[in-house]
Structure 1
Amino acid sequence: MRIIVMDNYDEMSKRAALMITSQVMLKPDSVLGLATGDTPLGMYKELIKLYNKKEVDFKEVRTFNLDEYYGINRENLQSYYYFMNSNLFNSINIARENINMPDGMAKDVNASCKGYENKIKELGGIDMQVLGIGGNGHIGFNEPNVNFEAETHLVNLEEQTIEANSRFFTSIKDVPVKAISMGIKTIMNSKKIILLANGLNKAKAIERAVNGKINPNIPASILQLHNDVTIIIDKEAASKL
């Protein structure tokens, strides 16, 4: 596990974007696992800048998103499908057929999750997976007391997660209570992992993930067992290390 502490969020985002760019330059048809939320927004902005400077080409890249809310359609402004298109995909030259997202409206959730998992495996697995971390230590939407053996699956969101996400919705009552998420097993099968975190509110989760015992109550702690994890954080998020 390699920990890189940057001065601030902007520098953290630039460093992460350069790692993604290096991966794509070395393997143009890389399979990238992508995350949503506030944390990777800066990284996506930097990737768009690098693309506009013709320093990276996404035409052969394949992507799989980490998660999606369950029960809201893709046109919903709060869906992660909408998020990814607005903040990255619409601004780069990725082929639409190479974009893969969990189906938040799937009628047969188990079959949809299995199909998603199978497609990842068919493409040889994820080359580089981007993660954020929740205040309770979740990665993806894998909440505390997670099953480390789980693959892509439907999860129930904890109250803390629902409350944290309510800032994006008109009312907390509008926040979905379920989501489809890559499982811990899927994440751990990625060849490389980048975890991003910034701010004092993530400092405790980072400290417990890095220095605590490996424990299902802190899902991110399992990353201690992966052989190629880079944690990129700002000084505030690193303050308890």
Structure 2
Amino acid sequence: MEVVILPGSKQIASLAADAVEALLRRKPGAVLGLATGSTPLPIYSELALRHERDRLDFSQVRAFALDEYVGLPADHPESYRQVIAREFTARVNISPANVHVPDGAAADIPAACQRFEDAIRDAGGVDLQLLGVGTDGHIGFNEPGSSLASRTRIKTLIEQTRRDNSRFFGNLAEVPHHVLTQGLGTILDARHVILVATGAQKAQAVRDLAEGPVSAICAASVLQLHPHATVLVDEAAASSLRLADYYRHSYDHKPAWQGL
């Protein structure tokens, strides 16, 4: 796991977009894993800017969302299908048919989850997965206690996650109790994972995922087992890291050929 400490979200977005751009330059038909929530929005804006300004091409890209609420209509403004389109895919030249989101409205939820897993496999697997992290260490909607080998499935949200997400809905009562989410085992299959965390409220989660034990109580700690996991954090989110100076030294002296 590589931890990179940067001054703020602008620098984080630029570095993450550099990694996406480098991938698309060498593999135009790459498969991207897309996170939702507020954390990745600066990355999506930077990629949209590069598409418009530099003609960064997404026409052959396939994308898979991390998760979706159960029970929200597909056209609900806070469904992740709509959020992904509004914040990213509608701003670049990716075909809507190439954007896959778990079907939270399916009558047969287990079958829908298996279809999603099959679609990832048929696409050749995810090349680069973007992630945020919750204040309790969840990634996707793999809440504390999630199996480290889990696949795409239905999960019940803990109340802290519902409270964190209520800002998007207006009030807590409107936040669904259930979601479909890629599992931790599914996320680990991605060839490169970039996790982004900003703000002091994420500091404990960042410390737990990077320097704590690998444990279901902090789902993101499973990334310690990934062969190519990159954690991009601002100074506030890095404030509890015991090895912060080492991470800074390592990044400052990283060989240029190594990339992110």
What TM-score bracket applies, with the shorter chain setting the length?
Answer: over 0.9
What is the alpha-carbon distance in structure 2 between the residues aligned to residue 74 and residue 42 of structure 1?
A: 24
Q: What do the CA deviations read for 1:189-236 (whole angstroms, capped 9, x no partner)?
A: 111000000000001000000000010000001100100001111111
* Paired residues for 1:114-153 under 5 Å: 114-153=114-153
Residue 54 of structure 2 aligns to a residue in which SS? coil
What is the alpha-carbon distance in structure 2 between the residues aligned to residue 73 and residue 15 of structure 1?
A: 35
- Structure 2 residue aligned with 1:225: 225
What is the alpha-carbon distance in structure 2 between the residues aligned to residue 55 and residue 207 of structure 1?
A: 38
In the alignment, residue 121 of structure 1 is paired with which amino acid?
R
- Structure 2 residue aligned with 1:240: 240
What is the alpha-carbon distance in structure 2 between the residues aligned to residue 2 and residue 82 of structure 1?
A: 32
- Structure 2 residue aligned with 1:89: 89
In the alignment, residue 59 of structure 1 is paired with which amino acid?
S
What is the alpha-carbon distance in structure 2 between the residues aligned to residue 55 and residue 91 of structure 1?
A: 12
- Give the deviation of 1:34 after TM superposition: 0.4
What is the alpha-carbon distance in structure 2 between the residues aligned to residue 89 and residue 31 of structure 1?
A: 13
Q: What do the CA deviations read for 1:34-80 (whole angstroms, capped 9, x no partner)?
A: 00000000000000000001341000000000001111011101111
In the alignment, residue 60 of structure 2 is paired with which amino acid?
E
- Structure 1 residue aligned with 2:180: 180
TM score, norm. by length of structure 2: 0.91
Residue 94 of structure 2 aligns to a residue in which SS? coil
In the alignment, residue 76 of structure 2 is paired with which amino acid?
N
- Structure 1 residue aligned with 2:18: 18
* Paired residues for 1:147-226 under 5 Å: 147-226=147-226
In the alignment, residue 136 of structure 2 is paired with which amino acid?
N
- Give the deviation of 1:119 after TM superposition: 0.8
Residue 75 of structure 2 aligns to a residue in which SS? coil
What is the alpha-carbon distance in structure 2 between the residues aligned to residue 109 and residue 208 of structure 1?
A: 32
Residue 148 of structure 1 aligns to a residue in which SS? coil
Identity of aligned residues (%): 38
What is the alpha-carbon distance in structure 2 between the residues aligned to residue 106 and residue 206 of structure 1?
A: 34
What is the alpha-carbon distance in structure 1 between the residues aligned to residue 226 and residue 31 of structure 2?
A: 18
In the alignment, residue 99 of structure 2 is paired with which amino acid?
I
- Structure 1 residue aligned with 2:252: none
What is the alpha-carbon distance in structure 2 between the residues aligned to residue 53 and residue 152 of structure 1?
A: 36
What is the alpha-carbon distance in structure 1 between the residues aligned to residue 86 and residue 28 of structure 2?
A: 23
- Give the deviation of 1:95 after TM superposition: 1.2
Q: Name the stretch that deviates more: 138-147 or 54-63.
A: 54-63
Q: What is the root-mean-square deviation of aligned Cα atoms in Å?
A: 0.8
Q: Name the stretch that deviates more: 38-47 or 20-29.
A: 20-29
In the alignment, residue 119 of structure 1 is paired with which amino acid?
A
- Give the deviation of 1:170 after TM superposition: 2.2
In the alignment, residue 44 of structure 1 is paired with which amino acid?
Y
What is the alpha-carbon distance in structure 2 between the residues aligned to residue 141 and residue 6 of structure 1?
A: 26
What is the alpha-carbon distance in structure 2 between the residues aligned to residue 9 and residue 54 of structure 1?
A: 21
- Give the deviation of 1:5 after TM superposition: 0.9
- Structure 2 residue aligned with 1:31: 31
What is the alpha-carbon distance in structure 2 between the residues aligned to residue 216 and residue 69 of structure 1?
A: 22
- Structure 1 residue aligned with 2:113: 113
In the alignment, residue 77 of structure 1 is paired with which amino acid?
P
What is the alpha-carbon distance in structure 2 between the residues aligned to residue 125 and residue 21 of structure 1?
A: 18
What is the alpha-carbon distance in structure 2 between the residues aligned to residue 21 and residue 71 of structure 1?
A: 35
* Deviating 4+ runs (over 3 angstroms): none
Unaligned runs of 5+ in 2: 242-260
Q: Name the stretch that deviates more: 178-187 or 10-19.
A: 10-19
- Give the deviation of 1:97 after TM superposition: 1.3
- Aligned residue pair count: 241
